[in-house]
Structure formats: structure tokens, C-alpha cells
């Protein structure tokens, strides 16, 4: 299909070999720990990556939008968990997908939701699986695993036929605050322990918990023991990114996503390059500051992947600013030169683009659609 010199800039590039390796490695790691993997497809929103994950042995997928659910269901992915808390405006769509034969499970921590969702499901004559969302320390949403709401909500879901209590679900998003394996492991162990203890509390009250579902890329990349956990939902690991490198989830050679960009302005006196990849192409996610304290929007490499020692340190809509006192680097990059900007936060960078240019080295071998939107 051509090479990186023939593509328009900016273009979103994905390195197929790295995706395959990332997907295989996580699948074998979670299988070896005795749990099922239900990858979160929000990172890639691409059917082809879902198929790679299926080949690696996943059991169902996780989605963050109903658009992802519809796109994947249309391609035969029929076991889906929608892992953003459900609200009444989406009940009809969820029930309709279940009626059409897709198991689309939802999550909630809200006392009003079970009865009102049950009423809609009952009218359609379908069962809907509902997980109770638990806060395992992130603080975004979910019931307190040690408080009274855990039991109350599990009972509400379990008694709201035709809903089925599917289990407990949490996301350790606070693992993104960790740095290095030891800190990640502390959070990973707490994530597991909090959830397994919550399931035991329910079991002691006679409520069976069919599934304990956890997952974040930092914790799943390092956890060593998943006893009591049935399912892991990792997303970012398919691509990884510079943020995950800084956290310590992966190495630089695992980052599969970059944005092809051209130099559109060079000013030697000011030590400045401007790229045609701005906020729209890279996203405005500054991720996590590098160990030297510099916050940026991505690191520049050559088309072959060689580090250039340059970072995008400021953005406007279609411009990326690269400030440097490295004259030799400036000499290598005249207007028209092409570079790749490694993604800072791949989930957000990918979602800026309608499709991926799939690369093997510098050859473009395929194009994958990104099923964006809601």
C-alpha cells in the first residue's frame, strides 16, 4: 500500500508487530494467572485489533461507548460489557441490543437504576446482566466496598428481575499515579484484595458473586497473583504509550502508536521546529512529566524509530511546537522532513483519527477503521 513518505501528514500509524506482541503477552500473562481476559476496546476501537485479541484467547470485550458496542456486535462480538455506569437515556439501546442477541452487560452503583432498567427489560422480555460498580481506591465511581451500599446494591440488582446480578467490577485508575514496579504492585495487590474481600462479604450474606472483574494496564502488567479474580479488563496495553513507559508498565519498544508529521517551520536562531501535528492530531493529553520534570505531548523519532531527543512541548490546533538547543537535530530536520511523534496517551491520540495506517517497519500494509463517537 506504499510507505511512510507517500502518506498525507498528519496520519495515525500503528505498528502491527508491536500490537501483536503486546496482545499475546498480556493474554498469556493473564491466562497463566488463572483469570479470563476481557480486553477494553476503548483504546483502539478497531475490529482488527479485537480479532487479534480474540485469537489470543480473550473472552468477551469491554466497551466505553455504545458506538463501540454496535460496531463490534455487527462483526460478531456478542459478549460485551459496557463499563461506563448506565443511565436511563441508554436503557432502550442496551435492551434492544440484548434483544437482538448480543449479551451487553452494564454496570451501576446507583440505587434507582436496577428497578427502572428492569422495567424496560421486562417490557422487551430480555434478561440484562448488571455488575455492581465498586470503588477499589480510584475514587471516580462505585460503591464503598466496606460500606452498607455493597450489600444493598447487590440485593437490589439481584431482586430486580429480569436483571441478573453479574458480579463486582472495579477499575484501578489510581495505578496511573504509581511509578515503578513496586508501587504498581502495591496498588495491584490492593485492587485484588479489596474486590475479593467484597465478594466474600456478599457470599457470607448468601449472595453468590459470579464474577470479580478488575483491570488497568499498569496493574495487570505486573500483578503476580489473581487468586479470587475471575476477569481482567485491560485496554491500553494493546498499544501502550509514553505515559505507560514513565509509569513503568512497559518498555519504550512496546509503544505501537505514533503520529506521522512533517516539519512546516524551522527557526535555527530560536531553536524551534513547528510540526503539522497539533492538538487535533495528538490530543491535548500532556500525560505524565518525564523523569526530568518536562511535560510534553509526545516524543519525536525518525520514520525508522530512532530517538531524536526532541519533544512536542506546546500545541495549537494544527501546530506542534518543538523547542531545542540541539543544533544538530535541527540540521537533520528541514521543512518537509518527516518524523513520528510517539503517542503520550494512546487511547486519546487514537480517538482523534478516523483510521489507522497499519505499518510493518516503514511499509504501510493495511488501514483499520477507528469506530469513534457515541
Ligand X SMILES: Cc1ncc(COP(=O)(O)O)c(C=O)c1O
**Binding footprint of ligand X on the chain (CB under 6 A):** 40, 43, 62, 83, 171, 215-217, 233-237
Q: Give whichever of 237 and 297 is closer to ligand X, judged by the CB atom.
A: 237
Contact by Cβ (8 Å): 140, 173: yes
Cβ at position 46, least distance to ligand X in Å: 15
Q: Give whichever of 237 and 321 is closer to ligand X, judged by the CB atom.
A: 237
Q: Give whichever of 65 and 236 is closer to ligand X, judged by the CB atom.
A: 236
Q: What is the Cα–Cα distance from 261 to 212, expressed in whole angstroms?
A: 43
- Please tell me what DSSP assigns to residue 254: G
Q: What is the DSSP string of 154-222?
A: HHHHHTSTTEEEEEEE---GGGGG--HHHHHHHHHHHHHHHHHHHHHHHHHTT---S-EEE--HHHHHH
H/E stretch holding 45: none
* Residue partners of 74: CB distance under 8 A and separation at least 6: none
Cβ at position 179, least distance to ligand X in Å: 15
Three-class DSSP category at 348: helix
Q: Give whichever of 140 and 200 is closer to ligand X, judged by the CB atom.
A: 140
Q: Give whichever of 220 and 259 is closer to ligand X, judged by the CB atom.
A: 220
Q: Is the peptide bond before 162 cis (omega within 30 degrees of 0)?
A: yes
Query: Nearest to residue 168, comparing CAs of 149, 189, 187, 183?
Result: 149
> Closest CB to ligand X belongs to which residue?
235
Which three-class secondary structure string do you get for 220-247? HHHCCCCCCCCEECCCHHHCCCHHHHHH
Q: Using alpha carbons, list the distances in angstroms from residue 313 to 274, 279, 287.
A: 11, 11, 12
Q: What is the Cα–Cα distance from 101 to 110, expressed in whole angstroms?
A: 26
Strands 163-169 and 128-133 come out as parallel
Q: Give whichever of 145 and 215 is closer to ligand X, judged by the CB atom.
A: 215
Q: Give whichever of 22 and 43 is closer to ligand X, judged by the CB atom.
A: 43
Q: Give whichever of 107 and 310 is closer to ligand X, judged by the CB atom.
A: 107
Q: At what angle do helices 180-204 and 149-158 cross, to 10 degrees?
A: 60
Cβ at position 41, least distance to ligand X in Å: 10
Q: Give whichever of 242 and 260 is closer to ligand X, judged by the CB atom.
A: 242
Cβ at position 220, least distance to ligand X in Å: 7
Cβ at position 86, least distance to ligand X in Å: 12
Q: Using alpha carbons, list the distances in angstroms from residue 194 to 33, 112, 146, 167, 197.
A: 18, 25, 9, 14, 5
Cβ at position 188, least distance to ligand X in Å: 12
Cβ at position 157, least distance to ligand X in Å: 17
* Residue partners of 27: CB distance under 8 A and separation at least 6: 37, 53, 56, 57, 58
Cβ at position 140, least distance to ligand X in Å: 8
Cβ at position 283, least distance to ligand X in Å: 15
Amino acid at each position: 500500500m506504499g510507505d511512510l513518505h507517500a502518506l498525507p501528514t498528519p496520519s495515525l500509524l500503528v505498528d502491527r508487530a508491536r500490537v501483536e506482541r503486546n496482545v499475546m503477552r498480556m493474554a498469556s500473562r493473564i491466562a497463566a494467572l488463572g483469570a479470563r481476559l476481557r480486553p477494553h476496546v476503548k483504546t483502539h476501537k478497531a475490529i482488527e485489533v479485537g480479532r487479534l485479541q480474540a485469537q489470543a484467547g480473550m473472552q468477551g470485550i469491554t466497551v466505553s461507548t455504545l458506538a463501540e458496542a454496535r460496531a463490534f456486535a455487527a462483526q460478531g462480538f456478542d459478549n460485551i460489557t459496557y463499563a461506563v455506569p448506565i443511565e436511563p437515556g441508554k436503557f432502550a439501546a442496551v435492551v434492544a441490543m440484548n434483544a437482538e442477541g448480543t449479551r451487553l452487560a452494564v454496570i451501576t452503583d446507583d440505587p434507582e437504576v436496577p428497578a427502572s432498567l428492569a422495567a424496560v427489560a421486562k417490557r422487551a422480555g430480555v434478561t440484562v446482566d448488571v455488575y455492581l460498580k465498586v470503588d477499589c481506591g480510584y475514587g471516580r465511581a462505585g460503591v464503598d466496598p466496606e460500606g452498607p451500599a455493597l450489600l444493598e446494591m447487590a440485593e437490589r440488582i439481584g431482586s430486580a428481575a429480569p436483571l441478573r446480578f453479574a458480579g463486582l467490577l472495579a477499575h484501578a485508575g489510581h495505578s496511573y499515579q504509581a511509578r515503578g514496579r513496586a508501587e504498581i504492585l502495591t496498588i495491584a495487590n490492593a485492587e485484588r484484595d479489596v474486590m475479593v474481600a467484597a465478594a466474600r462479604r456478599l457470599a457470607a450474606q448468601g449472595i453468590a458473586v459470579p464474577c470479580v472483574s478488575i483491570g488497568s494496564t499498569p496493574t495487570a502488567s505486573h500483578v503476580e497473583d489473581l487468586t479470587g479474580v475471575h476477569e481482567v479488563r485491560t485496554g491500553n496495553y494493546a498499544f501502550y504509550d509514553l505515559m505507560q513507559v514513565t509509569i513503568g508498565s512497559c518498555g519504550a519498544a512496546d509503544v505501537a502508536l505514533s503520529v506521522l508529521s512533517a516539519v512546516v517551520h524551522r527557526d535555527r536562531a530560536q531553536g524551534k521546529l513547528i510540526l503539522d501535528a497539533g492538538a487535533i492530531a495528538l490530543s491535548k493529553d500532556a500525560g505524565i512529566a518525564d523523569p526530568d520534570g518536562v511535560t510534553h505531548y509526545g516524543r519525536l523519532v525518525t520514520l525508522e524509530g530512532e530517538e531524536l531527543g526532541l519533544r512536542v512541548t506546546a500545541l495549537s490546533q494544527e501546530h506542534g511546537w518543538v523547542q531545542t538547543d540541539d543544533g544538530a537535530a535541527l540540521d537533520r530536520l528541514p521543512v518537509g522532513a518527516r518524523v513520528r511523534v510517539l503517542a503520550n496517551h494512546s487511547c486519546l491520540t487514537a480517538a482523534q483519527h478516523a483510521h489507522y495506517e497499519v505499518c510493518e517497519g516503514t511499509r504501510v500494509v493495511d488501514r483499520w477503521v477507528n469506530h469513534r463517537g457515541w
